[in-house]
Amino acid sequence: MEVDATRMCELLVGLPDVVVLGLDDVADGELLVHVECRRRATFCESCGVEARLKERPVIALVDLPCFGRRTQLLWHKRRFACPDESCSKATWTEEDARIGAPRVAMTARAGRWVTAQVGRSARTVSEVARELGCDWHTVMNTVVAYGTTLVDDPSRYGTVTALGLDEVLFCRLGRYRRQEFSTQFVDVTTGQLLDVVEGRSGKEPKAWLEKKVQAWRDGIAFATLDLSGPYRAVLDEKLPGATQVADPFHVIKLANSKLDECRRRTQNETMGHRGRKADPLYRCRRLLTMADERLEDDGREKLLGLLRAGDPKGEVTTAWHAKEAVRELYTHTDPTLALVFVERLADDMCDPDNPIEVRSLGRTLRRWKHQIAAWHETHVSNGPTEAANNLIKRVKRAAFGFTSFRNYRIRSLLYAGKPNWALLPTITPR
């Protein structure tokens, strides 16, 4: 047990090689702890001459609360000067990363704590700042400083065999609420978020893949994506050896969208207005998108009756059968037969007698037939990518939206990128 008052203060401060100079009890309940590094001879790094003390500026660092009270650490730094006037290194200030990293307004332990709170637990920055009694920007800048080092760790992820690409709405900017998107790279085998880049065109994902070594890119055997032309072009150019797989969810979603477009067009042509609750096609809108095997007998009878009443040309009925045919595709187990099925289905849908929405669906199936049929061989999908997107959206909800892509990327990777949190006590911001 320590009984020396000075030593007890040093133990409470908990920093190595630090001497406690004093304590201020501020009126609002905040504690100000004055410290300095232990004195030792200091020599010029350039010429080796023993330096002289020039001044002692006081640097205020936000620290973790002490006994439930907000605390600041006032570090009395020493600024040294070289006595040799011809020396190129005129002055310098002592640094100790164990106390606080350069250009960070928090102590090292507080910086690591806020990084875990905001990054790992997805707490709001304002909540953490209020708990520490500091500014929002102080916390966010610290999270970026420590978080960047953590997510840029080269060993955070290794070889990836199945890569997934998808986009998320990043924010709305400007007077007209212009939509800005981001592209996510996800290891669909482990569900790990690899990185986030701006935009949803092919430029940024292409640049990200170009930075990877050729051996890493050659290790990717499968690449999953929704029916996105820009992403497909990126994979064609940068990952030519990877088997592209169109996500089944998005394929069936497209078929449902075309069915809904056909229903709304027919509604306007037959009734002259948008759907109302008494209109037959409006009443069956939910039944149309349900899986046929999930319809009970009375539900199927109701659907067919409403189609007979509201679809005189049978166009909505044709689109409904086309949607079910697309769903039927994923009951096949033979990849070769699946490709034949897609080709014939696309040809049938492109028949001039079909509604324009069905013909449009058929043309899409024809363009993506190899990617659609590849699912039967690989059985990989964009499901893990969508799961990572949900984690990103949780961070967005906690933050009440973002406007800075830097903050958005770091917080998303800290929460969904599976960094090695065991490294946090050892890292120092660059």
- 214: domain CATH number is 3.30.420.10
Q: Are residues 192 and 238 in the same domain?
A: yes
5 domain-assigned: yes
Q: Are residues 195 and 272 in the same domain?
A: no
Give the end of a domain, one of 99, 117, 148. 99
Q: How far apart are CA 317 and CA 263, in angstroms?
A: 9
Q: How far apart are CA 415 and CA 430, in angstroms?
A: 21
Give residue 118's region: left, alpha or beta (phi > 0; psi -120 to 50).
alpha
Q: Are residues 239 and 286 in the same domain?
A: no
Q: How far apart are CA 248 and CA 188, in angstroms?
A: 14
Q: How many domains does the chain have?
A: 3
Q: Are residues 210 and 260 in the same domain?
A: no
Q: Are residues 272 and 235 in the same domain?
A: no
Q: Which residues contact 279 (CB under 8 A, 6 or more apart)?
A: 267, 271, 310
Q: Are residues 267 and 370 in the same domain?
A: yes
221 domain-assigned: yes
pLDDT value at residue 95 = 85
Q: Are residues 374 and 387 in the same domain?
A: no
147 domain-assigned: no
Mean pLDDT by 10 residues, the chain (430 residues): 63 78 80 85 79 86 89 89 80 85 90 95 95 94 94 93 94 90 95 95 94 94 94 95 95 96 94 91 94 91 94 94 94 87 95 95 96 93 94 94 94 96 90
Residue whose C-alpha is closest to residue 415's, from 392, 384, 387: 392
Q: Are residues 326 and 234 in the same domain?
A: no
pLDDT value at residue 229 = 93
pLDDT value at residue 197 = 96
Give residue 42's region: left, alpha or beta (phi > 0; psi -120 to 50).
beta
Residue whose C-alpha is closest to residue 244's, from 387, 386, 375: 375
3-state secondary structure of 104: coil
Contact 45, 94 (CB under 8 A): no
Q: Are residues 11 and 33 in the same domain?
A: yes
Q: How far apart are CA 126 and CA 359, in angstroms?
A: 52
Task: Provide the whole-model pTM.
Answer: 0.88
3-state secondary structure of 216: helix
141 domain-assigned: no
Q: Are residues 221 and 303 in the same domain?
A: no
196 domain-assigned: yes
Instruction: Look at the block and give the residue holding tokens 């606080």.
Output: 100
Compute the half-sphere exposure of residue 375: CA atoms within 13 Å on the CB side of its CA: 22
Residue 384 token pair: 């893990």
47 domain-assigned: yes
136 domain-assigned: no
Domain range spanning residue 309? 248-378
166 domain-assigned: yes
Q: Are residues 229 and 259 in the same domain?
A: no
Residue 70 token pair: 């907000």
Q: Are residues 216 and 333 in the same domain?
A: no
Residue 49 token pair: 């001459």
Give the end of a domain, one of 75, 99, 123. 99
